[in-house]
Structure 1
Amino acid sequence: MSSPIDLYPTRRFKEPRLVYRTDDPAVWGGPGDGPLTATQLDRHELDGFTAVPQLLEPTELADAQAELDRVMQDPALDGDERVIRERTTDEVRSVFDVHKLSPFFAALVRDERIAGVARQILGSDVYIHQSRINYKPGFGGAPFEWHSDFETWHAEDGMPRMRAVSLSLALTENYHFNGSLMIMPGSHQTFVSCVGETPEDNHKASLVKQEIGTPDHGSLRLLADKHGIHQFTGKAGSAIWFDCNCMHGSNGNISPFPRSNLFIVFNSVENALTDPFAAEKHRPEYLGSRDWQVLK
């Protein structure tokens, strides 16, 4: 499969570059296309994210937390490559493909409050590009470095355009001190072209600590000076929708309180993956799905 014209070149140059977003709105649909209001859609276009104070009702949340515990303790996943562990403690850091591992989460992501919003924001039918549980244990959960997800999905998966959106659903309370998500509002309008060629099987290292595909300090300082940094805190059951090119990251967790989030990436069926733009081969299916079946 051949790749289209590369509008967002990265990992090619000796110096970082800033590329303004090209013909890719953050919102493709309108208020009549789904649950979000016109005001919410306008703010999403401007900021690149939409916070939902309560996505799950208490009984739904309790069921989701029980399923989280079941997945995290499933002995059948021992040694599975979809389970990523912390470098120093061997505790679980992420579990990928949760919508395939869990019938409960498979049903949840199809809920109109979730899939319906994804279709509304992207203005089309959608499929799941990636799903995972991020688990940041207390007393040592490692940070996630500043990055744009699209940079990796473009470079290593072959996602051609910025027409994907992510949902981070809190399954535990997100405090300001247990490694909650930080985003630079408005940063989704600028693509940071990173330096450094993609090593073979880069995902095996980057899922534990990302180095290739992370922006340089100068670009980060410029974006932070321009946009500031917003930190998301909230009760379990709250959620954040954010654009694929938002600059985001999270601190480590040295508090006693773990932080667990369900992370779902929806891609437009009109934005199907091609050959990677900056890697010899695409990543495994559980990281960048090439099954573009419409989510129903």
Structure 2
Amino acid sequence: MSVLTSDFEQPTMDDYPTRKDTTPALLYRRDATVWGEADGGPIDQAGLDQYDDRGYLQIGSLISTEELEKYRAELRRLTEDPELKNDERVVVERSSDEVRSVFEVHKVSEVFADLVRDPRVVGRARQILGSDVYVHQSRVNYKPGFGGGDFFWHSDFETWHAEDGMPRMRAVSISIALTDNYVHNGALMIMPGSHTTFVSCVGETPEEHYRASLRHQEIGTPDQSSLSILAGKHGIDVLTGPAGGATMFDSNCMHGSGGNITPFPRSNVFIVFNSVENTCVEPYAAPARRPTFIASRDFTPVR
């Protein structure tokens, strides 16, 4: 049975205020990072400890070669579908008509819906978050060769908190690589350990901010001074690896990726699982909720 919400609760006390002041701030995290135990899923204690310490965990080989070809074929079908390009869930590059992202992909494609429900995927999310989970957001990212755009440094939680009303840092993202990730083709970069600090950003959220931010985000991005402090303290890891591998990372990790001017595309499936004990309320710092294809209001646990 679906658990749909028509009216969100009003936000309670805000431990992570953002976009409410003219001065940025660095705030201590007030939530656990790992909520589950080693016997609650496929991640061993060493893996959970690494996730807790660094804010992310790489999985060398999550899906098989045969499965990889199936997902690549489905990605090609989605990016080449002329009707889909007119769907609001599809975002194209600023400098071209190339597809940049397809949102709510687990509803657009049954192939990717099966991947979301796969125990290798959802089981790890349940284990880290210590509860049942639902899909807050899903998408495929396609960073084509010779022009794939960058994603500036950001914390996902800052946006999900400010614009979607996610109360706590109890969400995990999993990025499954459909192509090889090299240093030079726009690989994901994370500041390890940055998940322990929340960067409160400046700038009021405009109405329908999502329309601009999906192509190029400015409001909700950290200031250069805060980024320099975090990078100086934690350093930067560039997460390379073969197709079929995956990276799980905490909602508050400071991360980004450069543009891709190489001939080698970089594509991935990106799924955000949120705890059913952390469902969204009204936005903390935005005039209205974002559309459901970006921030789900269906809190039905993934089965």
TM class, shorter-length = over 0.9
State the partner residue of 2:77: 70
Aligned partner of 2:157 among 146, 150, 153: 150
- Mapped pair 1:244 → 2:251: yes
1:89, distance to aligned residue in structure 2 (A): 1.1
The SS at the match of 1:261 is: strand
State the partner residue of 2:266: 259
Q: TM-score, normalised by structure 2?
A: 0.96
State the partner residue of 1:273: 280
- Mapped pair 1:206 → 2:213: yes
1:64, distance to aligned residue in structure 2 (A): 1.1
Aligned partner of 1:8 among 10, 16, 23: 16
| Alignment map for 1:76-155 (pairs within 5 Å) | 76-155=83-162
- Mapped pair 1:228 → 2:228: no
What amino acid is the match of 2:122?
Answer: A
1:70, distance to aligned residue in structure 2 (A): 1.2
Q: How many residues align?
A: 295
What amino acid is the match of 2:98?
Answer: E
1:72, distance to aligned residue in structure 2 (A): 1.4
Cα RMSD of the aligned pairs, angstroms, is 0.6
What amino acid is the match of 1:20?
Answer: Y
What amino acid is the match of 2:265?
Answer: P
What amino acid is the match of 1:66?
Answer: A
What amino acid is the match of 1:141?
Answer: G
1:14, distance to aligned residue in structure 2 (A): 0.7
1:260, distance to aligned residue in structure 2 (A): 0.4
Runs of 5+ in structure 2 lacking a partner?
1-8
1:239, distance to aligned residue in structure 2 (A): 0.5
1:276, distance to aligned residue in structure 2 (A): 0.1
1:164, distance to aligned residue in structure 2 (A): 0.1
* Stretches (4+) displaced over 4 A: none
Identical-pair percentage = 61
Q: TM-score, normalised by structure 1?
A: 0.99
What amino acid is the match of 1:143?
Answer: D
For residues 76 and 139 of structure 1, the distance between their equivalents in structure 2, rounded to whole angstroms, comes to 25
State the partner residue of 2:29: 21
State the partner residue of 1:42: 49
For residues 269 and 147 of structure 1, the distance between their equivalents in structure 2, rounded to whole angstroms, comes to 24
1:73, distance to aligned residue in structure 2 (A): 1.5
String of CA shifts for 1:145-192, please: whole Å, max 9, x gaps.
Answer: 000000000000000000000000100111110001000000000000
What amino acid is the match of 1:3?
Answer: P
For residues 102 and 33 of structure 1, the distance between their equivalents in structure 2, rounded to whole angstroms, comes to 29
For residues 65 and 166 of structure 1, the distance between their equivalents in structure 2, rounded to whole angstroms, comes to 20
1:4, distance to aligned residue in structure 2 (A): 1.4
Runs of 5+ in structure 1 lacking a partner?
none
For residues 85 and 71 of structure 2, the distance between their equivalents in structure 1, rounded to whole angstroms, comes to 21
